[in-house]
Amino acid sequence: MNPLLFRIPPLPHYIASGRNHCQPGYQHRSRQQIKVFDLLIVQQGCLYIGEEEQRFTVKAGDALILRPDCHHFGTEGCKEETAYHWLHFQTFHDLPSLSVAGSAFGNPNETTGELPASLFDISSFNLVLSQFVSLLLPDRAYEVLEQLTQLQATAHLEAVRFRQQLLFQDLLQQLAASVNPEHRSSQTTLCAEQAASYLRSHYREEITTAMLGDSLNFHPVYIARCMNKVYGCSPMEYLLRYRIGQSKLLLMQTSFPIARIAEEVGFNQSSYFSSTFMKLEGLSPREYRQRFS
């Protein structure tokens, strides 16, 4: 199977996404020349899909990218209840790379100390994705996809569309990281993913590092080391960021008072929620709602 090679810039861009829940017997419909890439990520059950002469069995935790210029179709019906996310994206992959003739170095501007923009060489690079891959961190991918789907209702807002593109770039990074199979069996990664999954499932509750350690049967220090390596933050930092992420969705999609939103996402005090929100987002919850709703 040939890898999918995307030349950057420009970046692949998000178009739309959603989630389908299928009963046994469902068969993916036949389509061809749809003009966009179709990313499918199965969360439960299994899809059976063909593209031209290739056949794929896409199980829970697997991702498949269907090409925009090929014929794809269901090869057989689902044997069990199946849930999967779909996402359409595209890239202007036929555009030439941008480059400026001459050296990439020059004399800095005497006033600002910066190099003249005309002397930079804007070269392209390749993003390599596997057309079919088992995700390294499937729960993290599901989280991003759920956020994208929830934002779909307010996608007419410029700020929301920008947020969707950022989430899509996060998903692309996850797909690229999953290409290397030697990382998938890492005990560090498995521990970090289990911890993150627990935190996302219980974010409305009061959680301590000791409780997290007891639930996973790992020492809290080891869990923190694993999460720092995989996610770049401690378990409690991850929990705070996730709570704030959920609060942003409530701010945009409901008219709940700030105090109720704080309670909904696991904060005991609305003042602590507001100060944490300000620290992470650079504006208050009320300002965020006014700007993006």
Among left, alpha and beta (phi > 0; psi -120 to 50; other), residue 102 is left
Tell me: do 167 and 274 sit in the same domain: yes
Q: Look at residue 99 and tell me if it is in a domain.
A: no
Tell me: do 156 and 267 sit in the same domain: yes
Q: Look at residue 186 and tell me if it is in a domain.
A: yes
Pairing of strands 125-129, 31-32: unpaired
Residue where one domain finishes, among candidates 107, 134, 161: 134
Q: Look at residue 179 and tell me if it is in a domain.
A: yes
Tell me: do 77 and 144 sit in the same domain: no
pTM of the model: 0.64
Three-state secondary-structure class, residue 160: helix
- Kindly list the distances between the CA atom of residue 40 and the CA atoms of 65, 141, 163, 207, 238, in Å, as whole numbers in the listed order: 6, 11, 21, 33, 27
Residues 262 and 270 sit within 8 Å (Cβ to Cβ): yes
Tell me: do 88 and 211 sit in the same domain: no
Number of domains forming the structure of the chain: 2
Backbone angles phi, psi at 127, to 5 degrees: -100, 120
Tell me: do 165 and 36 sit in the same domain: no
27-41, 151-165, 210-224: range with lowest mean pLDDT: 151-165
Q: Look at residue 52 and tell me if it is in a domain.
A: yes
- CA–CA separation, 191 vs 196, rounded Å? 9
Q: Look at residue 171 and tell me if it is in a domain.
A: yes
110-114, 206-210, 258-262: range with lowest mean pLDDT: 110-114
Tell me: do 143 and 195 sit in the same domain: yes
Q: Look at residue 228 and tell me if it is in a domain.
A: yes
Residue where one domain finishes, among candidates 134, 160, 191: 134
Beta bridge partners of 22: 82
The answer, yes or no, to whether residue 100 has pLDDT greater than 60, is no
- CA–CA separation, 205 vs 198, rounded Å? 11
Provide the domain limits for residue 11: 4-94+127-134
- CA–CA separation, 64 vs 132, rounded Å? 5
Q: What is the dihedral of CA 41, 45, 48, 54, to 10 degrees?
A: 50
Q: Look at residue 101 and tell me if it is in a domain.
A: no
Tell me: do 179 and 50 sit in the same domain: no
The answer, yes or no, to whether residue 16 has pLDDT greater than 60, is yes
Q: Mind listing the pLDDT tens digit for each residue in 107-162?
A: 444 444 454 544 455 667 778 888 999 888 888 899 899 989 888 878 778 888 88
Q: Return the CATH number at 67.
A: 2.60.120.10
Could you tell me the end-to-end alpha-carbon distance of the chain, in angstroms, rounded to an integer? Answer: 44
Residue 23: pLDDT band (50, 70, 90) is very high
Among left, alpha and beta (phi > 0; psi -120 to 50; other), residue 120 is beta
Tell me: do 153 and 283 sit in the same domain: yes
Residue keyed to tokens 């998903």? 171
Tell me: do 63 and 155 sit in the same domain: no
Backbone angles phi, psi at 122, to 5 degrees: -90, 95
40-44, 107-111, 121-125, 272-276: range with lowest mean pLDDT: 107-111
How far is C-alpha 212 from the geometric centre of its chain's CA atoms? 24
Residues 62 and 132 sit within 8 Å (Cβ to Cβ): yes
Tell me: do 151 and 40 sit in the same domain: no
Q: Look at residue 256 and tell me if it is in a domain.
A: yes
Residue where one domain finishes, among candidates 82, 115, 134: 134
5-9, 252-256, 267-271: range with lowest mean pLDDT: 5-9
